A and B are shown apart, each in its own frame.
Chain A
Amino acid sequence: MLTAADEALLAGIAVGDEDAARTFVRRYQHRVYGLAVTIVGDRQLAEDVAQEVFLRVWRHAGAFDARRGGAATWVLAVTRNAAIDAIRVRRPVMLDPGVILALVGPGAEAGPDQPEEAAVTDDDLHRVRDLLALLPAEQRSAVVLATYLGWTAAEVAEHDDIPLGTAKTRIRTGLRKVRAGLIPEVTS
């Protein structure tokens, strides 16, 4: 039902409904800003990124396709892309990967609940966290850095002082394990 409400909001935004936009911003601003801060590690830049994300939502809500996933998934993916774009330009100011791992790793806190949207993503939150916790530490680290910071295998290899092929394997194998636990296999 909550997902349907999100879809309705996005449909409203697509036709310029400012009330729908206001509700959507209130519902997702903590998540969008939180993800942006997590990725860019700078609150001012994160604010710029988060504003850009909502503007993209406002302008491109009509492109949202509910068949491909929920609104939360979509808006967080938009945030990831915008934030990674921002830090790629800013590098070599490299974020401390330990900070990211602590923020999203096992035992991390999710932050203040926003009742309207918490139920939508809490199930995923626990499942993803549990699945990551099951990975060997080196795979978990590689997957988190690739997912949240957009680190390439070469960057992971340099950071962990391992061969490039090993870094690729860690990312690919780790992501596939998470996928196997998150999305039921459908036999065709």
Chain B
Amino acid sequence: MTALTCDGCRELGPDVALGLASGPDRAAVLEHALGCRDCRRDLEDLTETVERSLVLAPRVEPPAGFESAVLASFGRGPVEGPVGRVGRVGRVALVAAAALLLAALGIGVGWSVLHRDQPAGWAVRDRAGAVVGRVDVERGDRATLVVHLDGGVPAATYRVECDYEAGGPYRAGVVVTEAGRPTEWRATVDVPVYDLRRVRLVSTTGAPNLEATVDG
């Protein structure tokens, strides 16, 4: 790779700041900037310009239950350090709109159904029917839905949707998988989980959907 001049670095700087540069161009710019204070400053300023320009987006009221769903996700697992920290277990995201689910199901559906047999250990299957994970329900002060996916599941973002006897689908949150890493996702749900009939993992990133059913 030919070393960049300052002119070359300045020409490509906006592309790098915007995240539009090719891999080799980006590497060349960063390598040059590392040893050139002026170009490094220029690149930092351009990046700051891009980031500060984002303030123009309008503020929009999120859907009802958004805040509680976000906060619920924070209760799961330890806070991680910087990306790449040793010992990180699969990157697991988000969670559960317990309040939304309660509201959706209404007062008439209660906890009495918890006396039923626990539908633990459902197999999660891909479209071809291969088992790629498991859904468990842990019973405690509140029921917890746990989705385990093995490391063979591709890197993707899945929306977790639950179908109950009372209806559905109800969105329970979002799980993010990393290629080659097993994933465990859990959400506390204030709903009759024993009425669960199906858990679907609907990809928002183009990966094949996954599904676990009571008969599965």
Tell me if A141 counts as interface (CB < 8 A to partner B): no
- Do A128 and B79 touch across chains, with their CB atoms under 8 A apart? no
Tell me if A15 counts as interface (CB < 8 A to partner B): yes
Report B68-104 residues with CB < 8 Å from chain A CB.
Answer: 69-71, 73-75, 78-83, 93-95
- Do B20 and A146 touch across chains, with their CB atoms under 8 A apart? yes
Known pairs A30-B62, A60-B80; A76 contacts B51 (CB<8 A):
yes
Tell me if A1 counts as interface (CB < 8 A to partner B): no
Tell me if B126 counts as interface (CB < 8 A to partner A): no
A21 partner residues in chain B, CB cutoff 8 A: 71, 74
Rounded to whole angstroms, the CA-CA distance of A73 and B74 in the bound complex is: 22
Tell me if B206 counts as interface (CB < 8 A to partner A): yes
B44 partner residues in chain A, CB cutoff 8 A: 68
Interface SS, A side: helix
B210 to chain A, nearest CB (A): 16
- Do B58 and A110 touch across chains, with their CB atoms under 8 A apart? yes
* Closest A residue, CB atoms, query B71: A22
A88 to chain B, nearest CB (A): 9
- Do A153 and B83 touch across chains, with their CB atoms under 8 A apart? no
Known pairs A58-B79, A148-B57; A47 contacts B63 (CB<8 A):
yes
Q: What is the 8 Å Cβ interface bit string for chain B, positions 36-72, against chain A (1 contact, 0 not)?
A: 0110010011101111111111111111001101110
Interface size on B, residues (CB 8 A): 54
Rounded to whole angstroms, the CA-CA distance of A174 and B93 in the bound complex is: 37
Known pairs A48-B157, A58-B74; A179 contacts B56 (CB<8 A):
no
- Do A34 and B18 touch across chains, with their CB atoms under 8 A apart? no
Contact of A34 among B14, B37, B59 (CB under 8 A): B59
- Do B46 and A175 touch across chains, with their CB atoms under 8 A apart? yes
Known pairs A62-B82, A73-B48, A113-B59; A90 contacts B70 (CB<8 A):
no
A103 partner residues in chain B, CB cutoff 8 A: 56-58
B176 partner residues in chain A, CB cutoff 8 A: 52
Max count, chain A CB within 10 A of own CB: residue among B55, B157, B159:
B55
Rounded to whole angstroms, the CA-CA distance of A180 and B174 in the bound complex is: 41
B residues at A contact (CB < 8 Å): 11, 14-15, 17-20, 37-38, 41, 44-46, 48-63, 66-67, 69-71, 73-75, 78-83, 93-95, 157, 159, 173-174, 176, 204-206
A residues at B contact (CB < 8 Å): 13-16, 18, 21-22, 25-26, 29-31, 33-35, 37-39, 43, 45, 47-48, 50-52, 54-55, 58-63, 68-69, 72-74, 76-77, 79-81, 84, 86, 89-90, 103-104, 108-114, 121, 124-125, 128-129, 132, 143, 146-148, 150-153, 168, 171-172, 175-176, 178-179, 182-183, 186, 188
Query: What are 10 A-B pairs with beta-carbon distances under 8 A?
Result: A31-B59, A50-B62, A52-B174, A55-B73, A60-B82, A72-B55, A114-B59, A125-B55, A125-B56, A153-B20
Name the 10 nearest CB pairs between A and B, nearest first: A111-B59, A34-B60, A111-B58, A104-B56, A30-B59, A35-B57, A179-B49, A76-B54, A33-B62, A172-B14
